[in-house]
Structure 1
Amino acid sequence: MKIFNSIQEFSSPAKTIVTLGTFDGVHKGHKSILDRLITSSRASGCESLVLTFFPHPRMVLQQNSDIKLLSTIEEKAQLLEDYGLDNLIIHPFDLAFSRLTAEEFVKDILVDKLSISKIIIGHDHRFGRNRTANIDDLIRFGNEYGFEVEKISALEVNETSVSSTKIRNALTVGDIDTANTFLGYPYFMTGTVAKGKQLGRTIGFPTANISIKEDYKLIPANGVYAASAVIDGKEEHGMMNIGTRPTVGGTERSIEVHFFNLDKDLYDKEIRVSMHYRLRDEQKFESVDALKGQLHKDREATLAYFKDNPA
């Protein structure tokens, strides 16, 4: 897959079949449109192209929304690449872009820059300045400029009942089961292992402290989760704590993972940690010994989960 950091960077001698959107999380609700994009491009000999945007439009147009996203831009690119796309454009979204008229967007971008043969789009898609144009306008432009419009019907969209907003809401309350069902894969976070206070070592549960540089990445609700990561080509199981570590007087929120059968120096290593199951809320114990006893129970529960749910 070729990745372009703006529409202006894109270049291809072939005609394209295009879809566009934010695709946050690249979840089950996106699958039908991406599958149709790939199938149609292969059948026609055109190149498949996803046009997406960063920052998320709500970050620009609703600056007080403080939206958190399911995927960083790098994570989104990897998820889209897994579909077998030919091209991905990540265009910088700004106020100037939002003020393009519908016809400017169609002629100057879709037709002149992307050499569009077909666009595959949801029935309720709106575009152009103030989102005034709809699917009927797009079909009219298609007739005028010589490209096909393939509409994803309301029935197809409603069949999945999945949205990025629903997934964000589930993660915010720690409902990892619902989030993973809607995503079609375990929710994951990518970060660098940083040095912590190393308190876990003193009670027999050393942890990798995960530092995530993107402040817009959604961190699920505090709690203890069954987790996994592929490290040096091998899947490692463990348990993740998200929270402030109140038993040991912690105040800052952190993400820590204790891997069960791993004795490696992970400092400064970038890892992707997947979250499979929520064990419990984070809580303050009466003593460190009581915390240690609970961690042993968490370990047994996590091992049992992965035994019953092999990869």
Structure 2
Amino acid sequence: MKIYNHLSEFKKLDNAVVTIGTFDGVHYGHQKIVKRLCELAHATGGESVILTFFPHPRQIIDPENLDLKMINTIKEKAGILDALGVDHLIITPFTRDFSNLGPEEYIQQVLVETLGTKSIIVGYDHRFGKDRKGGMKELESSAKLFDYSIEVIDEQDINDVAVSSTKVRQALLRGDVALAAKYLGYHFSLEGRVIKGDKIGRTIGFPTANIFVEESYKLIPSDGIYAVEVLMGTERYKGMAYIGQRPTINGMTRNIEVNIFDFNQEIYGQDIKMFFLEFLRHDVKFTGLEALKEQLKQDKEDTLAYFKKLSQSPD
């Protein structure tokens, strides 16, 4: 898959099969559209093109809203779309100027003159152009003029999977990573660099790797303890992750830590990736480190029990 960081980098195609959207999470609903995009491109001898935006349009249109976080980083989104077989991914900056393009300008300047669109696949509720005034009416009225076809993924097809990026975010923000995985078709992950902490965990027998996630826009799940799988290079390990402010020691900042089972190497400065499999419990304040230690023993038992159950599952 070829990746472009601006529309200006893209060379117009003879037969572009296009879809457009933020595709945050690339969940089952998105995957349905992307798979159809690739099928149509293959069937018509064209090339599949996805036009997406960064930052998220809502972050530009409503810059005061700092609460909107993304399920995927740009790198993660690109990796998923690549695996689905997309030929071209354009990640164009969503700017005020871009948002002010009228629907007709958008169709002519972006879809036709820049991309070379011959087929476009959109969801039934796709909106575009200034103030989201453009829709199916505008696409259809310009189709004959600019010689492109339109395929609509209807409401029933999308609703059959009963999923949206908002639903995924809501599940993650309450810690329900198992439900999020059902929506997404894969396990939510966090990737970051291992940084030095205050090493309290190792004094009670549970050393942790402290993770710094560089992308400030990346959604962090609810505080608590999770069963996770940890990827370092090509090696995978079982572990339990903690997200929270460490109330037992009166912590002031939100930490992301992971206790990796059967592992004792120094990995400061390395990048690791955690896949969130199951929520175990909420974060609570204990009477002291000894009480915390006892709870962590139970958490580890619960995590190992989860992995044992997982290994025995017929799936």
The answer for the alignment partner of 2:154 in structure 1 is 153
Per-residue deviation, 1:235:
1.3
Aligned to 1:74: 75
| Paired AA for residue 234 in structure 1 | E
Whole-angstrom CA distance in 2 between matches of 1:14 and 1:87: 14
Normalising by structure 1, what TM-score? 0.97
Pairwise CA distance, 1:12: 5.3
Partner of residue 272, structure 2: 271
Determine the structure 2 residue equivalent to 1:64: 64
Match of 2:230 in 1: 229
In the alignment, the residues of structure 2 paired with residue 131 and residue 33 of structure 1 have an alpha-carbon distance, to the nearest angstrom, of 20
Instruction: Please give the alpha-carbon distance, in whole angstroms, between the structure 1 residues aligned to 2:100 and 2:167.
Output: 29
Rounded to whole Å, the distance in 1 between the matches of 2:174 and 2:233 is 32
Q: Which residue of 1 aligns with 2:182?
A: 181
Contact persistence 2:17–2:41 (CA under 8 A) = yes
Q: Which residue of 1 aligns with 2:50?
A: 50
Deviations 1:81-102 (A, max 9, x none): 1111111000000110001111
> Helix, strand or coil: the match of 2:297?
helix
- The residue aligned with 2:253 is 252
CA contact (8 A) 2:12 2:113 kept: no
Structure 1 partner of 2:140: 139
SS across alignment from 2:114: coil
Mapped to 1, the partners of 2:289 and 2:127 lie a distance apart of 56
Q: For 1:113 and 1:244, how far apart are their aligned partners in 2? A: 48
Matches of 1:229 and 1:5 in 2, distance apart? 30
Matched residue, 1:24:
24
- Secondary structure at 1:113 match in 2: helix
Question: 1:302 and 1:170 mapped to 2: Cα distance?
Answer: 20
Counterpart CA distance in 1 for 2:14 and 2:205 is: 59
> Does the CA contact (< 8 Å) of 2:27 and 2:183 recur in 1?
yes
Partner of 1:8: 8
Q: How many residue pairs end up in the alignment?
A: 311
Q: CA deviation at 1:182?
A: 0.9
The 2-side partners of 1:13 and 1:114 are apart by 6
- After TM superposition, give the deviation of residue 231 of structure 1 in Å: 1.5
Q: Please state how far the C-alpha of 1:177 moved relative to its aligned partner.
A: 2.1
Instruction: Name the counterpart of 1:40.
Output: 40
**Aligned with 2:23: secondary structure?**
coil
Percent identity over the alignment is 44
Provide structure 1 residue ranges, at least 5 long, that are not aligned to the other structure.
Answer: none
Give the C-alpha shift of residue 14 in structure 1: 4.2
User: 2-side partners of 1:51 and 1:109: how far apart?
Assistant: 10
Amino acid at match of 2:165: S
Contact 2:13–2:115 (CA<8 Å) still a contact in 1?
Answer: no
2:289 is aligned to: 288
Distance 1:14 1:83 in 2: 22
Q: Which runs of 4+ in 1 moved over 3 A?
A: none
Q: Distance in 1 between matches of 2:14 and 2:296?
A: 57
Counterpart CA distance in 2 for 1:298 and 1:252 is: 22
**TM-score computed with the length of structure 2 as normaliser:** 0.96
Letter of the structure 2 residue corresponding to residue 274 of structure 1: F
**Cα offsets for 1:240-286 (capped at 9, x unmatched):** 00001111231211000000012222211112211010100111111
From the superposition, tell whether residues 20 and 172 of structure 1 become closer, same or farther in structure 2 (CA, over 3 Å).
same
Post-superposition Cα deviations, 1:168-204, rounded to whole Å, max 9, x if no partner, equal: 1111111222212111111111111111111111111
Name the SS for the 1:160 alignment partner.
coil
Distance of 1:261 and 1:42 partners within structure 2: 47
Q: Give CA deviations for 1:122-142 in whole Å, capped at 9, x if unaligned.
A: 111111111112112102211
**CA apart distance, 1:289:** 1.2
Corresponding position of 2:99: 98
Letter in 1 for 2:26: V
Stretches of structure 2 that go unaligned for 5 or more consecutive residues are none
